[in-house]
A and B are shown apart, each in its own frame.
Chain A
Amino acid sequence: MEFIYYFGEVFTFWSFSLLLLGTIFGLILGATPGLSPTMAVALAIPFTFKLEPAQGLILLGALYTSTVAGGAVSAILLKIPGAPANIATTLDGHAMAQKGEGARALQVSFLASLFGGVIGVLLLIFLTPILAQWALAFGPSESFWVAILGVTIIGTLGGGSVVKGLLAGCIGLWLSTIGFDDILGTQRFIFHSSLSGGINIIAALIGLFAIPQVISMFAKGRQTQDMEVIDVKPHSLFKSVREVFSSVRALGIGTTVGSIIGLIPGVGGQIAGLVAYDQSKNFSPDRKRFGKGHPEGVIAAESANNAMVGPSLVPLLTLSIPGSPTAAVLLGGLIIHGIFPGPNIFRDYPAVVWPFINSMLIGQVLMCIFGLAIAGYAARIARVPPHIMAAIVLTLAIFGSYSVQTSMNDVYVMMILGVGMYFLERYGYSAAPLVLGLILGPIAEGNFVEGSMIANAQNGVATYFLMGTLNLVLILMVVASISYSVWLELRSSKTGLPS
C-alpha cells in the first residue's frame, strides 16, 4: 500500500497542473485522426527534459491514458478510429451517433473507459510480480496462436456474411505483406518505391474508414435538396451512469479481456478492443443489436482498451521490455531521466514510479470528467450538413495520414485504399475485418518465422508449436472460435436469415 504515501506528490501545484495539461491535450490529440498515443507521448518527451523526473512522467502518464480515451471521440462522431485500439468503438458508437445518440455514446464510452482504466491501473499496482511472469510466458509460439485467435474472429466481426468477412480479412493479410520483409529484407509486392516501407496501419485505418464515408456523403449531398438534419438528443448523465454500471456482462468481459490481452507483449494493445467486442457480442442474448448502435458494444470496446493501459506497462517497468510501441517510447522517457526499469524499480525509484502510476489513476478520473463535460457539445457535430461534414472529414483524413510520418506517400495509400473500400462496401464487405488482417498478418508471420527458426534448432516445428499447456489452451480457443463461426453460417443458411 506504499503507493498511497505518494498521492501527495501528485497534488502539488506543478504536478497537478501538468496532469491537467496532459489530460486536456491528450483528449484533443487523441480525438485527432492520425495522432496516436505513441506519437503524442513521443512529441512530449523533449518537454520533459526540463522537468523533474517525477513530473515529466506524470505528464507522459496523463497523455497516454487520455489519448487512448480521446480516440473514441473521432471513432464515435466521425467513424475514424484514432488508433487501432478504437476500431471496435466505431462499430456501435458511430451507429449510435447517426441515430442522434452521440451524446449518449460519448458518455457511455468515457464512463466505461474510466472503469476499465482504473481496474487496469489497480492491477498494475497490486499484481505486478505475478503479471510479469504471465507476460514472459508468451513466446513466439504462444504469440502466434494469439494472433491466429484474432484472425478467427474476422468472420463474425463484420456483422454481415461470414464468407465476406473472411474474404475481407484475406485482403488485409495480403496488404500486410507489402514492403521489405523485416527479417530477411526480401522485397515483396513493391511495385513502386513508395510502397517499400509497407502500408502504414494508421494511414490505412483512416483511409478505409473515412474515405468511403466522404464519398457517400458527397453523393448524398447531391441527391437530396433538403438536408435531413439528425435530431441530436441530449442524454442525462445519470441514465448513462446507470446504463454503464448495469451492463455487468459487457463491462466485465471488456475489462477482463483488455487486461489479460493487454499484457501480451507486441500483440495486446492492437486487438484487445476487438476481441472484447466480439466476445461480449457472442455472449449477449441480443447479439443481433450489435453493430446497429448497441451501447454494450461501446462499453465492451472502450473498457477493454483502457483496461489494457495499466497491464501493458508491467513488462516495461519490471523487465525493461516494452510491450507496445507506446511503452517503447515511455522507456525512452524513463531512461532519459536516468531511471532503468527492472525488478527493483519500486524499491530504487519509489518517488518517481509511484507518482507516475498514481497520476494515471487520477488522470483517468480527470479524463472522464472532461470527456463528459464536452460530450453534449461534441455530439452536435452530427448536425453539420453532409457536404460540409465530408469536406471536414476529408481534410482531417489527409492531415492525419500525412502527419504519421510526414510523408505524402501515406496520403496516396490512404486515398487509394479508401476508394477501393468504398466499392467493397457497396458489395457488402466491411472495413473492420480487413484492418484486423492488416494488423495481425505481421504479428502471426513474424512469430511463426522466429518460432520455426528456434524450433529447427531444437525438436522441430510441430513440437514447438503444438506442445505446452498454453499452446494447447490457445489452440482449443481457436478451434472453438472457428466452429462457432461455421455453426452461425450454417444456421443462417438454413433459416435464410442473415447471421
Chain B
Amino acid sequence: MKKLLAGAAIVLAAITGTAQAESHANYPDRPVMMVVSYGAGGATDFQARIVTMTAGNKDALGMPIAILNKPGAGGRVGWNWFATQAEADGYTLSAYNVPHFIAQSIKGGVEYSTDSFEPIANWGADPAVFVVAADSKFNSMADVVDFAKANPGKLTFSGAGLFVGHHIAALQLEKAADVKLAYIPNKKGGAGAMKAVVAGEVLGGVNNLSDAFRAREAGTVKILGVFDLERNSFMDDVPTMKEQGFNIDNASVNFRGVMVPKGTPQGVIEKLAATVPSMFENGRVAKRMKAGGSPMAIMNREEVQAMWAKRQATLEELLAGL
C-alpha cells in the first residue's frame, strides 16, 4: 500500500512538475501588473511608467505592464499589501525603493523584510545631495558643519521623511562630522522638503539629485555635496562628501527597481531576471529618463541581491541608536 501511494505521489509530482514547467514557458500570457507604493506623479511612479513602457515589445516581455498605485505611509501600505496579499505567480510585480523599505523593516511595525521579496533588476539610482537656498551664506559643506559646531542642534535641514534615503544621509552626516543637527522630515516628501529650503523655512536640506538638478537649473538652490562614492554625470562640478573630508559612503542612494513576492516560481523569476534588465536598456527609455533628469543604474538580479544584503547590514548599524 505504501509503495502504491509513493508511486502515485511520484507520478503526480511528475505531472504537476511538467505542467508547471509548461506554464512558465508561456509566461507571461496576459498583461502584468506592477505595484508602485507611492502616488501618481511622484518620482517613483513617473520613472516606473517610463521604464516599463516597452514591456509589450517582442524582445521584452511581450505583454504590457500596468502600473497600480497603492500609496500611503511612506510606502508601507503598498509593500505591506505586496508582501501579504499579492499572488506569487509572476503577474504581480512591485517597484522597490532602497533604502526605504529595508530601513522601515528594521524600524519595525511592518509585515515585510528583505526576506519577503525576490529582486528582479534595478533601473535607477538617485543619490542624495545637500542643498541650500541660492542666497544662502553657506558655500561648502565645511561652512555648514562649522555653523553646526558653533550652534549645536540649531542647523535645521529638511528631507523627505524618516527612514528614507534622505534621513539615512542626515544620520551619516551627523556621524561623520560629529555634530548635532536638526533634521526636519517633511510630510509632503521631496517636493515639500525642497520648498522648505527655497522658502527659507530651514537653513538647508537633503534632497534627490534629480530634483536638486532641476532646482539649480531654475536658479533657486545651490548644491554643496553628493552623498555617493563618485561625482555624478548630471553635475560633475559638485564634490562628493568624501572629497570634502566626511567619511560617507553610498548607503543613502535611492535605488529603484523591480521585485516579486517570495514564493514566485523559479522559472518565472529566471525569465524576468533575463528579460527585464535588457528592457531597461532600451534607447527610448534612456532618452525619456535623461530628459527627466533621472539617473539610471541598471543592475541584474545577482547585483541587486548583493546590494540589498549590504544595505541591510549598514542600516542595521546606523539605525541601532534610534
Interface residues of A (CB under 8 A from B): 38-39, 42, 45-46, 49, 136-137, 139-140, 179-187, 193, 196-198, 265-266, 315, 319-322, 325, 328-332, 335-338, 340-345, 405-407, 442, 446, 449-450, 453-454, 456-458
Contacts and interface: CB of A to CB of B under 8 A. Distances in A.
B74 A185 contact: yes
B154 A139 contact: no
The 9 closest A-B pairs by CB, nearest first: A342-B218, A180-B73, A197-B72, A329-B41, A457-B182, A42-B40, A338-B291, A197-B77, A446-B187
A179 B84 CA distance: 18
B32 interface: no
A182 B196 CA distance: 17
A140 B107 contact: no
Contacts of A140: 201
B259 to A, nearest CB: 20
A179 B211 CA distance: 29
Given A180-B77, A183-B161, A187-B109, 12 more contacts: A38-B41, A182-B74, A319-B198, A319-B218, A328-B39, A330-B41, A336-B46, A338-B292, A343-B220, A454-B182, A457-B156, A458-B156
B41 A325 contact: yes
A320 B41 CA distance: 13
A185 B220 contact: no
Nearest to A198: B72
B192 A193 contact: no
Given A182-B161, A183-B187, A328-B41, A196 B80 contact: yes
B73 A196 contact: yes
A341 B292 contact: no
Interface in B96-121: 104, 107, 109
Contacts of B184: 450, 453-454, 457
Given A136-B198, A185-B109, A336-B288, A342 B187 contact: no
Contact of A337 (B45, B215, B219, B291): B291
B262 interface: no
Contacts of B220: 319-320, 342-343
B293 interface: yes
B225 to A, nearest CB: 21
B53 interface: yes
Given A196-B72, A338-B291, A332 B46 contact: yes
A315 to B, nearest CB: 8
Nearest to A328: B41
7 contacts: A42-B41, A45-B49, A185-B162, A187-B109, A321-B195, A336-B292, A337-B291
Interface of B: 39-42, 45-46, 49-50, 53, 68-74, 76-77, 80, 84, 104, 107, 109, 153-156, 161-163, 182, 184-188, 191-192, 194-196, 198-202, 211, 214-215, 217-220, 288, 291-293
Nearest to B153: A457
A144 to B, nearest CB: 12
A454 B80 contact: no
B298 to A, nearest CB: 20
Nearest to A139: B201
B179 to A, nearest CB: 13
Contact of B214 (A139, A335, A458): A335
A348 B215 CA distance: 15
A319 B291 CA distance: 19
Contacts of B196: 139
Contact of B219 (A38, A321, A322, A343): A343
Contacts of A330: 41
Given A319-B218, A320-B220, A342-B220, A407 B161 contact: no
A453 B159 CA distance: 13
Nearest to A331: B41
Contact of B185 (A183, A320, A407): A183
B40 A39 contact: yes
Contact of B199 (A136, A198, A456, A457): A136
A305 B202 CA distance: 31
Nearest to B188: A266
Contacts of B192: 266
Residue from A39, A331, A345 having most chain B Cβ neighbours under 10 A: A331
A336 B162 contact: no
Nearest to A316: B191
Contacts of B70: 197, 405, 407
B187 A450 contact: yes
A31 B250 CA distance: 48
Contacts of A449: 187
Contacts of B40: 38-39, 42, 329, 332
